[in-house]
Structure 1
């Protein structure tokens, strides 16, 4: 892992080495996002609705993502839509007063699905296919390392209170994310496939390119591997949406953990994830077949969600045993979420048609978001009744993912090539 990090070149180096800037911007404020809404009088159901509307927005932007990426190029698309998706919504969040501000920001923030497509293409299109799982491991590690800045948020909340501190953090995020965009644009170059698609789409209307999605959809429907990776991605994305929206709410409102302590939970989870990515996870994923580590990921993640549900909510606030059990939850989540992020992203990239990567991945992400969209509202409705219930839902989803991986696994091209190389 260290050798891969030091040896990165080209776009992979630009993308991964700028990723820790996420920690000085969005990672500081995300632990407070839902609690901030509660503090402004937004109830659980409306928090869930904001998550669902944001996901629906991602569906629309995701559908356009492939066309935009091909028309503007991977590099320019990432720069323009990162500003739209992060810098602008951060300013809206910083001055938010009620539910409607958060709703508007969620709609604009949905543009990140465009950059998710273009950024992925920028990361992997010029890379060796065999290196793709390792690249996504480094992306996860870079994101996790960014959590070391979490104490900054805790100090601000302790000093100024929740609402003023979160507004400051959102303003900070707008500035830092803009700087991240500028550095990535400066250090990256357009990919070979990107230059080819720029030539092929020059003079072709957006509507005509959208109409061509019919043929791309056929590529997806004819590929068992693509459909399989899409299903796993949808399960993991739904669990991620629910956890990202309500984990902090459950810890804060159900278990009574103080506001100032909330950023330390992502910090601990991220530190554990980094340690696991440099120790256990490479040993599990450095195999020909990725099926077994995927199964382990679902099992361990499921254990963490069930344990969170089982932690008793004491009326007198959290006890020492509460923090111990939360620590175990964080360990299980760090392993499960970490390995599943890396493997599901890698499976999508490994199964995709290389010549149609941007459009295929755009449709895939659109389909995933369509499936995931209702889970924001559903989890908000469940949280309004009992703040442990959203994690009963995620547990069921992880059981579904476990069954899919166990019974319907499709071998990747990478696994087939590796097996052929090792054959006598």
Structure 2
């Protein structure tokens, strides 16, 4: 068994990676572990401090709107400042600082301020992706993204610690400490990657090319890049998938915990158990079914993933009160769907982007994704107040739309290369 794991395609990829891709993977647990500890209880924490569902949704919407601004300037900053420097500065601003604000939050306005500062992470959505991809051999890009996802999966095994703490203490004091720990751990991650990583070759070239250009003149170049994107069927498809999967996560990430505690009446401490189950399923999926999905065409894989998403949401909506088993069934199906959809969406983006304009194209992708998604934070919160089932019914409609998009796409029909 051990020998089989050593020979697994992901293990081979990790051994062959060097430089930024390898250091990105090695340091990623320092972000993922504290994130996995606080994120299951984040909405409950907001609720305990008196926020309504509409206020929770409003913080998401305001965050999305500010993320559009940071995403727009992210490409220019990444080219001018360099991938490495932009990543350490704006990761610190976008994660360490808001974690400190969350730790001391008292009411809605604190969370609104944290959402505003947290929006700066959109700059590193561009700079970190460039740092990660540009020195990564093309044959390893898909599996490198899967390894990053594995870091997230494995870190969730620390979630029982949060369960134990919440079981012994109130949610609010526990969350305050978890946010403080997250601020320290994430800062360590950012500094280590900066120290051991290096600027990419494309990054050095772009810094030299833009040395004498103003930020304003570089921003004007977005017009040409945007026209290139909207003329490309492949790039439009990536925008659709990015926006729709982002909208999906609003309900599954932010309102699942409220649904199972307020509608199904499970206890608060059980909320952190589901990410662990989710992780086990995704690891089993990646290790056990990787080869099977590697043989399928992109279109078939995506359709299977969205069908599993539909099945998971229907099961959740049909779950009676205090039925832990069926909520676990939802978690298993949702985790399997996520393991199919998300790495393929990320890898599609990496494969379809022109290397020279990667930073500005990534920035525009993020702007379009956020712009489309922004109104849905408040909308989903409003729907939850009308009836807790509505956000999940809304998600089902999005899954159906995604299936039609995959069926209609000629680009996916011709994409033979497996992305897993």
- Residue equivalent to 1:422: none
2:171 aligned with 1:170: no
Please show how residues 33-52 of structure 1 align to structure 2 within 5 Å.
33-52=42-61
Please show how residues 360-375 of structure 1 align to structure 2 within 5 Å.
360-375=361-376
2:35 aligned with 1:26: yes
Question: How many Å apart are 1:276 and its aligned residue?
Answer: 0.6
CA deviation profile, 1:99-143 (whole Å, cap 9, x unmatched)? 010011001101111111111111111222232211111111111
Please show how residues 293-304 of structure 1 align to structure 2 within 5 Å.
293-304=301-312
Gap runs ≥5 in structure 1: 419-424
Q: 2:269 aligns with which of 229, 253, 260?
A: 260
Question: How many Å apart are 1:346 and its aligned residue?
Answer: 0.8
- Residue equivalent to 1:384: 385
Please show how residues 212-223 of structure 1 align to structure 2 within 5 Å.
212-223=221-232
Gap runs ≥5 in structure 2: 1-9
- Residue equivalent to 2:126: 117
Q: Distance in 2 between matches of 1:4 and 1:329?
A: 32
2:210 aligned with 1:232: no
Check the 8 A contact 2:250/2:380 in 1, yes or no: no
- Residue equivalent to 1:354: 355
TM-score (structure 1 length as normaliser): 0.93
SS of the equivalent of 1:87 reads helix
- Residue equivalent to 1:330: 331
Check the 8 A contact 2:298/2:415 in 1, yes or no: no
Q: Distance in 1 between matches of 2:44 and 2:156?
A: 18
Check the 8 A contact 1:347/1:412 in 2, yes or no: no
Question: How many Å apart are 1:412 and its aligned residue?
Answer: 9.2
Residue range with higher mean Cα deviation, 91-100 or 303-312: 303-312
Q: 1:147 aligns with which of 150, 153, 156?
A: 156
- Residue equivalent to 1:278: 287
Question: How many Å apart are 1:387 and its aligned residue?
Answer: 1.4
Question: How many Å apart are 1:413 and its aligned residue?
Answer: 9.3
Q: Distance in 1 between matches of 2:79 and 2:261?
A: 44
Question: How many Å apart are 1:147 and its aligned residue?
Answer: 0.3
Check the 8 A contact 1:351/1:413 in 2, yes or no: no
Q: Distance in 1 between matches of 2:291 and 2:72?
A: 34
2:68 aligned with 1:59: yes
Question: How many Å apart are 1:70 and its aligned residue?
Answer: 0.6
Check the 8 A contact 2:266/2:324 in 1, yes or no: no
Question: How many Å apart are 1:411 and its aligned residue?
Answer: 4.2
CA deviation profile, 1:138-196 (whole Å, cap 9, x unmatched)? 11111111101101111221222111001111111111100111111122111111111
SS of the equivalent of 1:263 reads helix
Check the 8 A contact 2:134/2:200 in 1, yes or no: yes
SS of the equivalent of 1:86 reads helix
Question: How many Å apart are 1:286 and its aligned residue?
Answer: 4.5
CA deviation profile, 1:189-218 (whole Å, cap 9, x unmatched)? 111111110001112111111111011111
Question: Runs ≥4 in structure 1, deviation > 6 angstroms?
Answer: none
Q: Distance in 1 between matches of 2:16 and 2:268?
A: 41
Question: How many Å apart are 1:414 and its aligned residue?
Answer: 7.2
* Count of residues in correspondence between the two structures: 409
| Alignment CA distance shift 1:18-1:414 (3 Å) | farther
| Alignment CA distance shift 1:233-1:64 (3 Å) | same
Check the 8 A contact 1:22/1:177 in 2, yes or no: yes
CA deviation profile, 1:311-351 (whole Å, cap 9, x unmatched)? 12x3xxx1xxx211111111111111122110111111111
Q: Distance in 1 between matches of 2:174 and 2:318?
A: 32
Q: Distance in 1 between matches of 2:99 and 2:394?
A: 30
